[in-house]
Amino acid sequence: MLYESSGLKFFPASTLQEWQLHIKNFSSLVDPDSYAESSTATAQDLDDFNVEVVDDVLVPVLTDSDPLPDLLHLRSRLGPHPTGGIITSLVREIIPLNEKQGIVVEKIISEVLSTVNSPQDPSPQKQTLLYVGGEGGVGKSQIIKAINAAMDLLHRKDEVILMAPTGAAADVIGGSTYHTSLGISLNHHRRTGVGPRVRRLWCRKSIMIIDEISMVDLSALSIINTHCKIARSLSRSSPDLFGGLPIVILMGDFCQFPPVQGQALWKLPRNETDEDGKIIWNQFKQVIILDEQMRQAEDLPYRNLLTRARNATLTYDDMLTLNSAAISSIADPHLQATTAIVKLNALRHVINRIQVERFARAKDQKIIIFPALHTRTRSSAPIDPPLYADDLLGLPEQGAKVPTPGLFLYTLLMPTMVLTNICTPAGLVNGATGEAVGVVVDPEASFHELDDLYIFCTKPPACLLFKPNRPRSVSIHPLDRNVFPIFPLETSITVKGYSVRRKQVPICPAFCLTDYKVQGATLTSAILDLKDNPKSRRQDSHRKYCSTYVQLSRLRSLAGLRLLQPVEMRDLQHGPDPQLLHEMQRLQALQLDTLTAWRTVNFG
């Protein structure tokens, strides 16, 4: 009875091996050389913003895989000598574009058509370096879709490469992380070369787009530039930016979170590599800042509130409006389907524990506790301090330092989040959310009932069955369509001075997420954590400003907003870094120059 009601399943080892091979082969459909079997990673190999497993387990996805309708019909109307304007007009029939979006697409496609040299020809040619900015919800990703569609019309879609700093951001645009695409180690200090896989990937590229550029630091931009040169068979010292790629587009909103480590592109450099990155960033003199809001288009008062949040000018009336949405209890049954967004992992763990229990009781289900497997304990201290099982099992996942939980709490169909990049084409990336639709149990595991709600299993899962919220047209026999096995990951963690190997599924409950994890998401409803903790040394005033703006801007309307607790005016009065304000003024001036120049030129 327990197995039926809890989704516990047994499969032979041969079936699990077939599933692992299927995931590997699915990855290899994109690039047969990109996948290397690797189930281990150290904390040093993991990124602090999102847990990125070492480069070789990720897969380059070249472009958005969503099929577009009517491409054959549109191609028949291209004519023998299509112009950027004609192609953009055709694309507009299937992808709506406002004025600025249309100008960008027409400009880029006109530049593509005017490129005389073939993409792989390294000889000097005109280069377009463009920054596209704007707040969340103004349609930056719409430009990516339109450029993809236009290049597809020209049978040149393979010339486009899409990248982002994290797996979740890359999944949204149908791309890959820049670490994967360029063979860059997550440890930037580790000098790496560029293998034949990467060189093949880049040999015919003419357009590179990097989304969520706000999360890329100055040193990373310098490293991306260097690896582009090598990938395109140029020397590191070549003066050609990004290996002479004809078109490089950076997209993002600098009012969202800056990099966790390193200097944001708008900050002053701290070292030589930063200085190189700053020089590169300042070469992006063509700037378009989108300003037609689509996410909150149906709620003008809320859109105005967001504008004030972005400008750090929230009013007393705004505070009253927000406080009117404060909840009385996180356990309110009416909030069962509402995601909570908080600032600190410690609070996230508490809320997830409460919500797992509430979810299980509402569905009359059990909660099964799966412990991580810990091995190879080693201490470098002269006198070994005592290390207890409680120290290990009680340690939850904590980003890069501890990427998997000591105890994984599971109940059937609970919302879950993937904690590492597993298979990019399948959307199994760090930050991907979905449902836990079952667990394949280790055949050597036994179960012990603790009380009327909790059952303890003696082994971690053989794998968890995960159904992502962003569906893929994939089936793995005999699983249901769009269900993927998530296998345990083995990582090195440090506990009380000991180096320990932990084996656990890289999954956690997703009733509550941190503000960092929801950056880039669009939510219908959410419980927000806007209350400031003045004693917190984790965040400066700028990051607190970013947290307020990021949380508020995830929602489509005020109707979906709830507050975890009431706020005071001092909680809402954090502002952006003065360096960012200066940078935004510079970018606005560059946009005026860009629009003036583009509007006086007939792109063709």
The CATH number for 194's domain is 3.40.50.300
Residue among 61, 55, 27 at smallest CA distance from 183: 55
Q: Does some domain include residue 423? A: yes
Q: Are 304 and 292 in contact (CB under 8 A)?
A: no
pLDDT band at 262 (very low <50, low <70, confident <90, very high): very high
For the chain, the 3-state helix, strand and coil shares in percent, each to the nearest 5, are: 35, 20, 45
Q: Does some domain include residue 604? A: no
Q: Do 96 and 229 lie in a common domain?
A: yes
Classify residue 486 as left (phi > 0), alpha (psi -120 to 50) or beta. Answer: beta
Supply the pLDDT for residue 11: 96
Q: Are 259 and 542 in contact (CB under 8 A)?
A: no
Residue among 317, 240, 282 at smallest CA distance from 572: 317
Range from 83-92, 307-316, 392-401, 557-566 carrying the lowest mean pLDDT: 392-401
pLDDT digits (tens, 9 = 90+) for 339-362: 999 999 999 999 999 999 999 999
Q: Do 214 and 335 lie in a common domain?
A: no
Domains identified in the chain, total number: 3
Supply the pLDDT for residue 186: 72
Q: Does some domain include residue 584? A: no
Q: Does some domain include residue 355? A: no
The first and second tokens of residue 136, run together, are 């969340």
Q: Do 288 and 324 lie in a common domain?
A: no
Q: Does some domain include residue 361? A: no
Q: Do 187 and 313 lie in a common domain?
A: no
Top-confidence range, 26-30, 57-61, 286-290: 286-290
Q: Do 385 and 437 lie in a common domain?
A: yes
Q: Does some domain include residue 352? A: no
Range of the domain at 217: 70-293+592-599
Q: Do 248 and 100 lie in a common domain?
A: yes
pLDDT band at 527 (very low <50, low <70, confident <90, very high): very high
491, 510, 529 - which closes a domain: 510
Q: How many CB atoms lie within 10 A of CB 337?
A: 10
Q: Do 372 and 488 lie in a common domain?
A: yes
Rounded to 10 degrees, what is the CA torsion of 400, 310, 278, 118? 90
Classify burial at 133, counting beta carbons within 10 Å of its beta carbon; exposed 0-12, middle 13-18, buried 19 or more. buried
pLDDT digits (tens, 9 = 90+) for 483-507: 999 999 999 999 988 899 999 999 9
Instruction: Read off the pLDDT of each residue in 153-157 and give the average, rounded to a whole number.
Output: 94
pTM score: 0.87
Q: How far apart are CA 388 and CA 311, in angstroms?
A: 50
Q: Does some domain include residue 216? A: yes
Q: Do 87 and 104 lie in a common domain?
A: yes
Q: Does some domain include residue 401? A: yes
Supply the pLDDT for residue 59: 40
Q: Do 209 and 260 lie in a common domain?
A: yes
